[in-house]
Amino acid sequence: MRIGYLTYGLDRAPTGIGRYAVELLRALGSLPDAPEIVLLTTEREDRHDLWTRFEQHSLPGCRLLPALMTIGNLALSAATRRYGLDLLHDPNGIAPFFGPRAGARRIVTIHDAFAFVYPETHNRLDNWRYHTMLARAACRADMVLTDSEHSRQDLKRYLAIPDANIRLVPCGLDPRFQPIADGSERRAALERYNITAPYLLYVGGINARKNIARLFEAFAQVRQRHSGLKLVIGGKRQWQTDEIDATFERLALHEHVHFTGYLDDRDLPALYSAAEVFVFPSLYEGFGLPPLEAMACGAPVVTSNASSLPEVVGDAALTVDPYNVAELAAAIERALTDEPLRAELRQRGIARAQQFTWRRAARDVAEVYARLLGRAADGTMLEQIPPDRQRLAP
C-alpha cells in the first residue's frame, strides 16, 4: 500500500488538528506492518522532523487554506498519478477531493461538526467550508473518520453520510503526558510563562465556542473565597472574542487572569501538573484533547457535560452545564477544596487517560486503509481470507 498523507499548517504553531495529524502519522510509521506512507506537504519547513522519516513531496502553492481548497484538488490528483498512490488520507478535515481520483481511494478525517451546531461562534471561512465545500467533498470520500461517537452522529445528521461510510477512531495521548513532580522542571516551565501558583488552568483557543466569558464569570465568584488564586489562559486569540473581552473588562480581571499566548507542547505536562484545577467549559468539541492531557498529568478536571466531552473524560472529571455559571463555579470550588475528591479525580484521571493511545488509533486507521484496498494488514487480499477472520467489519 502506498498511502498519500496530506499535511497542512505544520510549519505554524499546531492546533489540536495539527497534533492529531503528527501523532497519528508517527504511530502509523511505528506499526510493525506499517503501510508505505508518502507525505504530500503544504509547509515551507519541517518543524516535526517528518520529512527525513517518510518519503515527501510538496504541493506547490497550497500553503494557505483557500489555495488548498481550490488548486489543491488538482495538485492531489497530479500527485496521485506521479507518485503511484493507492489511497489518499486527509487528516485535517479539508477534503480537497474534487479533482480526478486518478485510481486512488480517499479518506478524510472530519473532527467535528461545529459549523452546523454553533456557526455563530466561528469565522466565515470555516462556516462556508463546512456548509459548502465539505458537505460535497465528504460524499466523494470512500470513508470518513472521526474522533468520537458524538461527532459521528453529528456528521451523519448534517452531512448525510451513510453509516457504513463513517468510522469512529478515538484520538490517542502522547506518553509524555504524565505527572511531573514539584521540582526544577515545574519551576522552569512556570518561569518561562511568568505564572505564579496557585492557579486554575485553561488550555485551548480563545474564541466564543470555548465559553471563556462564562469561565471568567465563574472564576470571579470563586475568587471571592480564594483571593490569591489566578486563572491562566493558555492559547492564541482566534475569533468572535468581543464577549470575552467585554466580560474581562467588566469584571476587572486584569490583575487576576494571566494570558500566556501559545504554550509549547514540551511545557504542557509541567503546567498541567502544577495547576490546582484544569477547567475546560467548552460548548462543543469533536474530542477534546486538553482535558485528557490534564487528567494524564494528575490535574483535577472540571469540564462540560456537552458534546463529546463526557464520552472522553468518563467518570474521571466533574462535568457541568456549560451555560450555568453557578454550577461551573461550584464544581471548581469542590475540585479546589475537597481533598478526598481531588485524590479520587487524580487516580481516576490517570487511569482513564491510559485507555487512549496513538498506537491503537494507528492500528484502527491502518485497518481502514487495508479494507478499502481489499487487503488484510499483512498485505493478503481479503477475498483470500474467510469472512470470520477479516479484522475489520464492512
Set out the domains of the chain in order of their start, with CATH numbers: 2-172+358-389 (3.40.50.2000), 184-353 (3.40.50.2000)
Question: Which pLDDT value is given to residue 375?
Answer: 59
Would you give the DSSP letter of residue 48? T
List the one residue out of 184, 200, 209 whose CA is nearest residue 121: 209
Residue ranges in 240-307 assigned as alpha helix (H): 242-250, 268-274, 289-296
* Contact predicate 1/84, CB 8 Å: no
Would you give the DSSP letter of residue 241? -
List the one residue out of 25, 306, 365 whose CA is nearest residue 168: 365
Task: Tell which phi-psi region holds residue 102, choosing left (phi > 0), alpha (psi between -120 and 50) or beta.
Answer: left
pLDDT < 50 regions, the chain: 376-394
Report d(CA 118, CA 248) in Å as an integer: 22
Would you give the DSSP letter of residue 108? E
* Contact predicate 268/299, CB 8 Å: no
Residue 135 C-alpha cell reads as: 458537505
Residues 108-132 have pLDDT tens digits of 999 999 889 888 877 788 888 888 8
User: Which amino acid, residue 231?
Assistant: L
Residue 96 C-alpha cell reads as: 480537497
pTM to 2 decimal places: 0.91
